[in-house]
Structure 1
């Protein structure tokens, strides 16, 4: 199951986006009087030992629009298998936020955290990346000055499943929106990829099938026609009480498809975060 990786992201031309970001910053410095205070940092990183993950050192990153210091609501970015917070953020998140707010979207933050390969739920090993997000990472974001009274979830593949699972567990009162991209969904425990669940009971305990948990939460699902999860995703959508936003479009299970959806996904989510 191919995941976002740095080589794929850079091959999509994100080097150019990073160069453009640097150029914009340089031009801004030239136009700013020496006495003016520099804008607040738009990118913050750190790590913490996660009790929910057995003490694992867990890296995180937060991006804000340039110069914005107010308590913004965050979109929690959940990575796919064999990926990380740093790789997700390397998709040019800072430049995207700058462009989005400049274009008139309500300002928001984007935050990513390492979750390992445990599919964002408690495993037999004791590792529980889902509890880490809800019980440790959200309070950390609040301590970093973000408004976690309502948050969004955006995830890819394993993270797409995680976005559905954690958004539903946080509930409609605090989950402003969920965007699941190429979600890793299986219609039965026997069909699941090795390592995704600890068995049939684990699959059932952490199932996202059925509308109850997602009731009242705005939902968007994007998937490529050639994605190996397309059939299960189609069946998942069919059993929802109403069609989610997004849909199917040309593409596969890869960074090219994922990066191509990001602008429309965040344009959809930003007003829901601000509501």
Structure 2
């Protein structure tokens, strides 16, 4: 009847998938519109909606500090790249923080994803940062540390920093080496349960533990922090807004570098 009154054919009903998407886009776009993001997100299509929603929920990725980068050195150890970012005013032997990103352990990840050299250049800490390819199978203690020492770094006072599985490995290594070698350790969203974390072995080492509140590892991270505090350990960090993503890791990086500056 509608087609006859309008003088033409009735419009085709949307396919089921299209109908669901339109309803979802309307609901998500309307909610984002209240926050001033809906129009721009919908113009970009479904990917724009997801991206805008992620920014609302997880926060935007901060731009690195202005002012240039720390100096980099690149070498090879047993066929693996080793990349070291040096503090700008390094005149004497400086301690080093070994960074353990998520497997497979690309030595460039701390620089390409997290702009660590930019943040180090803006940090007050007089220490270097080193990363190595394939750390899950690399010999950190027996090969990497002697390699860094031969390059003029002080490996008697190292820091360890890791993300996710790298965070779990940083905690394990710190517990294994003890406070005589590891002066501080930081783990972001460590992929380890509180029951298996070496809490007692970390009591004499300052620990930074942090996680985004929308990360599924937040409860276990909070439990580990409470356990360390109960044992009398020096702890920093905590649960703050964010997800398990580049945005969160960049946001907490200045805090972590300041932590190492105080303890190395």
TM-score over 0.5 (shorter chain): yes
User: Deviation string for 1:30-76 (max 9, x for gaps)?
Assistant: xxxxxxxxxxx920012222xxxxxxx32210011225242110011
Which consecutive unaligned segments of at least 5 residues does structure 2 have? 1-59
CA contact (8 A) 1:79 1:156 kept: yes
1:259 to 210, 233, 250: 250
Q: Aligned with 1:180: secondary structure?
A: strand
CA RMSD in angstroms, aligned pairs only: 2.3
2:73 to 44, 69, 91: 44
Matched, 1:112 2:131: yes
Matched, 1:164 2:186: no
Q: Which has the larger radius of gyration?
A: 2
CA contact (8 A) 1:75 1:153 kept: yes
Partner residue, 2:84: 62
CA contact (8 A) 1:79 1:115 kept: no
Work out the CA distance in 2 between the residues paired with 1:69 and 1:43. Answer: 15
Work out the CA distance in 2 between the residues paired with 1:177 and 1:229. Answer: 22
Partner residue, 1:80: 102
Work out the CA distance in 1 between the residues paired with 2:105 and 2:65. Answer: 21
Partner residue, 2:116: 93
Assess, with a 3 A threshold, how the Cα gap between structure 1 residues 257 and 13 changes in structure 2: closer, same or farther: closer
Partner residue, 1:4: none
Work out the CA distance in 1 between the residues paired with 2:61 and 2:237. Answer: 22
Work out the CA distance in 1 between the residues paired with 2:156 and 2:255. Answer: 24
TM-score by length of 2: 0.69
Work out the CA distance in 1 between the residues paired with 2:65 and 2:226. Answer: 37
Q: Aligned with 1:221: secondary structure?
A: strand
Q: Aligned with 2:75: secondary structure?
A: strand
| Number of matched pairs | 201
1:108-257 to 2 correspondences below 5 Å: 108-115=127-134, 120=136, 128-129=137-138, 132-186=139-193, 207-209=196-198, 211-240=199-228, 241-242=231-232, 244-257=235-248
TM-score by length of 1: 0.67
Q: Aligned with 1:183: secondary structure?
A: coil
Bigger RCO of structures 1 and 2 (CA < 8 A, at least 6 apart): 1
Work out the CA distance in 1 between the residues paired with 2:130 and 2:105. Answer: 15
Where has structure 1 moved over 3 Å in runs of 4 or more?
Answer: 11-14
Deviation at 1:83, TM superposition (A): 4.4
CA contact (8 A) 1:71 1:145 kept: yes
